């Protein structure tokens, strides 16, 4: 029973020490306290925030140089949030996946276009050839 009580107390202390810092509200010191964010990135976040609050993680990633998908996931794991939301890699990966799909479809269309024109040319040649 004593072990359970100690475990619960330890978990409460751990959860209190892991307070989330919001990119739209955190001070430079609070942002610096997030592991991986130093004075350089925290000052960039604050400068961009002066132009307007970050709408979501994609907005933060797009506006703050030095924060990409990997860093966003790392910072979120350390307690950084944007509008109270943790980073979701799926949400950021979806637009990238859509762009990749469009690019591959365009490449496939370009690759099949010469084949189609070659088929049309050979069919036209066969039609215009004299019959025996």
Domain interval for residue 96: 19-104
Tokens of 24: 């739209």
Residue 43 lies in a domain: yes
Query: In terms of Cα–Cα distance, which of 3, 35, 6 is closest to 18?
Result: 35
In a domain, 129, yes or no: no
Is it the case that residue 7 has pLDDT exceeding 50?
A: yes
| Residue 127 belongs to some domain of the structure | no
Domain CATH number, residue 86: 1.10.150
Q: Is the full-model pTM beyond 0.95?
A: no
pLDDT at 21 > cutoff 80: yes
Give whole-number Cα distances, 108 to 90, 105, 120, 121, in Å. 26, 5, 18, 20
Q: What is the pLDDT of residue 106?
A: 58
Structural domain count, the chain: 1
Residue 12: inside a domain: no
Query: Is residue 57 a part of any domain in this protein?
Result: yes
In a domain, 32, yes or no: yes
* pLDDT tens digits, one per residue of 61-115: 999 999 999 999 999 999 999 999 999 986 555 455 445 545 555 555 555 555 5
Q: Quick check: 57 pLDDT over 80?
A: yes
13 domain-assigned:
no
């Amino acid at each position: 029973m004593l072990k359970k009580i100690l475990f619960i107390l330890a978990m409460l202390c751990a959860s209190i020490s892991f307070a989330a810092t919001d990119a739209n509200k955190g001070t430079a010191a609070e942002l610096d306290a997030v592991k991986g964010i130093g004075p350089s990135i925290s000052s960039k976040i604050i400068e961009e925030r002066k132009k307007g609050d970050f709408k979501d993680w994609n907005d933060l990633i797009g506006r703050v140089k030095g924060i990409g998908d990997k860093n966003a996931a790392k910072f979120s794991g350390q307690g950084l949030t944007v509008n109270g939301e943790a980073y979701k890699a799926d949400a950021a990966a979806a637009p990238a996946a859509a762009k990749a799909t469009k690019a591959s479809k365009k490449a496939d269309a370009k690759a099949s276009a010469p084949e189609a024109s070659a088929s049309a040319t050979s069919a036209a040649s066969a039609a215009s050839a004299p019959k025996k």
